[in-house]
Amino acid sequence: MSQDKTRFVYVTYIRSTPEKVFEAITRPEIARRYWGHENVSDWRPGSAWQHVRDDAQRTVQLVGKVVEVMPPTRLVITWANASQAADVSAYSRVSFDIAEYDGMVRLTVTHDELEAGSGMDKGIRQGWPIVLSSLKSLLETGQGMDVFAKPKTAS
């Protein structure tokens, strides 16, 4: 029995260049500043990539393969929890499409091939908006946001 698949699409406009947006996604020393993780790979099609927590433990939380690379306009990777790396059915796909506009770029992140209602589906729907807001903040102001922040409780 196959699971229903779903997708999540997020579009944001960033006052930056395609090159800087692409580098922010693929260079560990930049990604850690807005994501709290490093995306580690040689970024060649077929190569592995790892999403490594930027802390003392350096935990690999996500893994996948590089599917397509067209700097600075497109990157496609597969994506799974590191604990499910051996399960082919656990992988989803993330596409980063970067389009140049006058003085800015449009970044479209499409996360598809997700199992509808799964923990990963629910997690990325909360995660992508804050991660991409933090990316935008870093590139526009020089400072990312705390992507691990929790909502304040009402007093």
CA distance 24 to 33: 9
Hey, what amino acid is at 80?
A
Give the burial string for 86-118 (b: 16+ CB within 10 Å, else e): eeeebbbbbbbbbeeeeebbebebebeebbeee
Tell me the pLDDT of the chain (155 aa) as tens digits. 457 999 999 999 999 999 999 999 999 999 999 999 999 999 999 999 999 999 999 999 999 999 999 999 999 999 999 999 999 999 999 999 999 999 999 999 999 999 999 999 999 999 999 999 999 999 999 999 999 988 888 66
Angle formed by the axes of helices 119-141 and 18-26, to 10°?
130
Q: Which residue has the tokens 């996500």?
A: 62
- Provide the whole-model pTM: 0.94
